[in-house]
Structure formats: structure tokens, C-alpha cells
């Protein structure tokens, strides 16, 4: 089915354009033969509507026999044959309709010589050939859009699989460390062991729950971060300090799940744990016009190894993941100094 038949307003506008073109031609013809004005319009208007509808059928021809550079001659011949057949059919119908003029007087609705009818067939053939070119362009555009949508969906699925695989690699390591810490606390501080067990269970429950959703509130992501840090703080003690500065309005903003938590996890793993005195992790969120600005900053050891590009594999995955989930650009910027590592994320504001 032609796309215009799915949009009635577009179809009405298309047919109206044909009627206006026929009206302009009829007005010019009327000036040459004022006595036959009504018959001229009676001939041209139905002919214009029939030509417009017939031109849409070239969409089926172009779709059934798509243009192939390797078979361009065969493709062009099929389109030329279809255009010629349609032109002959429409011209024949026009001749029959013109003959009905004898019901209201002598002769047809309009008087055309054999050369005039031949010219009509030629014009109709040209119209249908042009319709084929336009429909080829339309089909090409549709193919490009479909390919782009398929590629975006494939990239999104691939990135989501990478994130899930990354979480499956990190979670067992984090779980084993947490269980070892609980085991050590059972004899020394049973109450702390119990609290850590609860935090660990809530963390994994929330991770599984939020990871299945397409969008979550920033407040939910912050709750997950706090559960993670509560577990790590029981292990690291005073070495781990956290400063959270979040605009209250930002807590209701939407974002993909597990955006901040991996950044905070990296801040602990590659920053705080490697420092004898530990350090302060800063987490900020604010609204910047039509965007949500997030920042995670942590101290780093002076001799710690750095990725040559400044962005590790996890951050590259996060950047690609965010770019495929928003129509507007999403940015992940990294600022690395000898003693501090900062990640800034800019997302479209959604509430």
C-alpha cells in the first residue's frame, strides 16, 4: 500500500494539487475557447484525478522491482513499460469520458485532433516516468531510515549486553569481598555483620530491579549508590568519605539505570583503595538549562596507571550507551589531573 493511503490529509492535499493544476490548465484553455469552458473543466478535472491516482501505482512497480545498478537496463525497461501502459490506459479512459459529451450535444467534451491525443499520451507517459523517479527516491529514503533505525537498535542491544556482561564480571568480585567482610565481622561485631548483610542484599536486589528498566529517577540511582558505599565504608572505614550535592529538583529527573553507580564503583576501586589515607568522593547533580549535569570526582594515586586516551573501556561503553538512548547528544567528559579524576555527564533533561 502506498504511504499516502495511510495519511488521509496527505492524500487529500496530493489530489487537491492535481485539481489545482488541472484548473490552471483549464483556465488557460478557456481563454482560447470561451464557449466551451464548462466542457473543458468537465474533461480536465476527472482526467487530473485519474492521472494522480494512477501515478501512485508506480510505487508498487518500483517496490517490486527495486533499482539495481548491476541491472539498470532491465530496471529502466520495466519502468518505461509500466509508464507507457498506464499512459495508454489513462488516455483510453479519457477518450471514453470525452465521448460522453455527445449526451449533451454534438461532439465530445473537447475537440482534440489525432496529434492532440498522441501528445496527451506522451505527456501522461512523461508524468508516470517522473512518478517512478520520485518513488525510487522515496523508497531509497525509506531504506536509509530503516537501516539507521536497525543499526541504532542493534547498537543499543549490543551496548546493553556489554553493560550486563560487565556487571556480571564485577558483581561476583564485589560479592566475594562483601561476604569475606561479613565473615570477619560475625565474631568481632555481629550487629555490623547483620547491617552489612542487609545492605548487600538490598544492593543486589535494587541492581537487578533497576537494571531491567529503561529509565529510572535519579533518586533511585542515588539510593543504589548509597547502598553500595555503605557496604564499602564498612570495609574501608574512615578511608572512604563521600560528599553528595544534588539539587532537589534533579532527584526527579529521568536517566538510564546504572549510570552513576559504576562511576562510584570505579572511584572506590581505582582511587580510594589505592590511597593509604583514602579520600573524598564528590558526587554532584544540577540542572543546566535543558540538560542534567552529573559529576563524580575522586582522588587518585600519583603513580596510578592511566588509560592513554583518558577514557577507559567502561567509560567508552557508557558514552556509547547514552548516545544511543537519547535523540539529543549525550556527553561524557573526563578531566584527569595528577591527583584527581573527574567524570562529567551531560544528558537531556527529562522529568
Q: Could you write out the DSSP letters of every residue in 130-156?
A: HHHHHHHHHHHHHHHHHHHHHHHHHHH
Domain residues for 233? 189-348
Domain boundary among 99, 122, 149: 149
Read off the pLDDT of residues 3-28 as tens digits, 9 standing for 90 and up. 888 888 888 888 888 888 888 887 87
No. of helices (H) and no. of strands (E), the chain: 9, 7
Distances (CA, A) of 270 to 19, 237, 336: 72, 17, 13
| Dihedral in degrees, nearest 10, Cα atoms 197, 203, 209, 214 | 180
Cα gap 113→110, rounded to integer Å: 10
Specify whether 330 is located in the same domain as 209: yes
Which residue carries 540538560 as its cell?
291
Residue 203 sits in the same domain as residue 297: yes
Same domain, yes or no: 206 and 332: yes
- Asked if 336 and 236 sit in the same domain, the reply is yes
Q: Has residue 25 been placed in a domain? A: yes
Contact 294, 258 (CB under 8 A): no
Asked if residue 173 is part of any domain, the answer here is no
Give the pLDDT of the chain (351 residues) as one tens digit per residue: 788 888 888 888 888 888 888 888 878 777 766 656 677 888 888 899 998 889 888 888 888 888 777 777 888 888 899 999 999 999 999 888 888 876 666 667 888 788 888 988 999 999 999 988 898 888 888 888 888 877 777 666 666 665 565 555 555 666 776 777 788 778 778 888 888 888 778 777 777 666 667 788 999 899 888 888 888 887 788 889 989 999 999 999 998 888 888 898 889 888 898 898 889 999 999 999 899 999 999 999 876 655 544 456 678 777 777 877 776 788 888 998 888 999 999 999 988
How far, in Å, CA of 121 to CA of 247, rounded? 71
Of 99, 126, 149, the position where a domain reaches its end is 149
Any domain includes 278 = yes
Q: pLDDT digit string (tens) for 292-346? A: 999 999 999 876 655 544 456 678 777 777 877 776 788 888 998 888 999 999 9
**Do 331 and 198 share a structural domain?**
yes
The overall pTM is greater than 0.75: no
Q: Among 127, 149, 171, which residue terminates a domain?
A: 149
- Residues 202 and 252 grouped into a single domain: yes
For residue 220, the domain's CATH number is: 3.30.565.10
Asked whether residue 168 is domain-assigned, the answer is no
My answer on whether 193 and 318 are in the same domain is yes
Q: Which of 203, 199, 202, 197 has the alpha carbon at shortest distance from 183? A: 197
The reply to whether 77 and 139 lie within a common domain is yes
- Domain co-membership, 197 together with 340: yes
Task: Specify if 107 maps to a domain.
Answer: yes
Which among 143, 306, 167, 156 is positioned nearest to 228, based on CA atoms?
Answer: 167
Cell of 178: 562483601
Is residue 260 domain-shared with residue 339, that is, in the same domain? Answer: yes
Confirm whether 197 is domain-assigned.
yes
Q: How many CA atoms lie within 13 A of 156 on its CB side?
A: 14
Does residue 171 form part of some domain? no
The three grid cell numbers given for residue 293, joined into one nine-digit string: 549535569
Query: How many Å apart are CA 181 and CA 237, to the nearest integer?
Result: 12
The answer to whether residue 314 is domain-embedded is yes
Do 198 and 344 sit in the same domain of this protein? yes
Q: Between the CA of residue 230 and those of 24, 210, 340, 350, what are the distances in Å?
A: 78, 18, 22, 29
Number of domains within the chain: 2
Are 121 and 217 within one domain?
Answer: no
Amino acid at each position: 500500500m502506498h504511504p499516502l493511503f495511510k495519511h488521509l490529509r496527505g492524500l487529500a492535499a496530493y489530489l487537491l494539487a492535481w485539481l489545482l493544476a488541472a484548473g490552471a490548465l483549464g483556465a488557460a484553455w478557456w481563454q482560447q475557447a470561451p464557449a466551451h469552458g464548462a466542457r473543458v473543466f468537465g474533461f480536465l478535472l476527472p482526467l487530473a484525478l485519474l492521472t494522480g491516482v494512477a501515478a501512485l501505482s508506480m510505487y508498487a512497480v518500483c517496490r517490486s522491482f527495486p533499482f539495481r545498478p548491476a541491472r539498470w537496463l532491465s530496471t529502466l525497461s520495466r519502468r518505461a513499460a509500466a509508464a507507457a501502459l498506464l499512459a495508454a490506459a489513462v488516455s483510453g479512459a479519457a477518450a471514453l469520458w470525452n465521448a460522453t459529451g455527445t449526451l449533451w450535444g454534438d461532439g465530445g467534451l473537447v475537440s482534440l485532433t489525432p496529434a492532440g491525443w498522441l501528445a496527451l499520451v506522451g505527456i501522461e507517459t512523461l508524468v508516470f516516468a517522473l512518478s517512478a523517479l520520485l518513488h525510487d527516491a522515496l523508497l531509497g529514503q525509506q531504506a536509509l531510515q530503516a537501516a539507521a533505525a536497525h543499526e541504532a537498535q542493534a547498537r543499543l542491544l549490543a551496548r546493553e549486553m556489554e553493560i550486563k556482561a560487565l556487571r556480571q564480571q564485577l558483581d561476583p568480585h564485589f560479592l566475594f569481598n562483601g561476604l569475606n567482610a561479613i565473615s570477619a565481622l560475625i565474631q568481632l561485631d555481629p550487629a555490623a555483620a547483620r547491617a552489612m548483610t542487609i545492605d548487600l542484599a538490598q544492593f543486589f536486589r535494587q541492581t537487578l530491579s533497576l537494571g531491567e528498566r529503561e529509565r529510572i529517577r535519579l533518586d533511585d540511582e542515588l539510593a543504589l549508590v548509597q547502598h553500595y558505599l555503605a557496604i564499602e565504608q564498612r570495609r574501608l572505614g574512615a578511608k572512604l568519605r563521600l560528599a553528595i550535592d544534588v539539587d532537589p529538583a534533579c532527584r526527579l529527573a529521568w536517566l538510564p539505570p546504572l549510570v552513576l553507580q559504576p562511576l562510584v564503583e570505579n572511584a572506590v576501586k581505582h582511587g580510594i583503595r589505592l590511597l593509604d589515607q583514602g579520600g573524598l568522593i564528590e558526587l554532584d547533580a544540577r540542572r543546566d538549562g535543558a540538560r542534567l549535569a552529573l559529576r563524580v570526582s575522586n582522588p587518585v594515586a600519583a603513580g596510578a596507571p592511566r588509560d592513554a586516551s583518558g577514557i577507559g573501556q567502561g567509560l567508552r561503553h557508557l558514552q556509547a550507551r547514552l548516545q544511543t538512548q537519547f535523540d539529543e547528544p549525550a556527553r561524557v567528559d573526563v578531566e584527569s589531573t595528577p591527583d584527581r579524576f573527574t567524570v562529567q555527564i551531560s544528558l537531556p533533561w527529562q522529568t
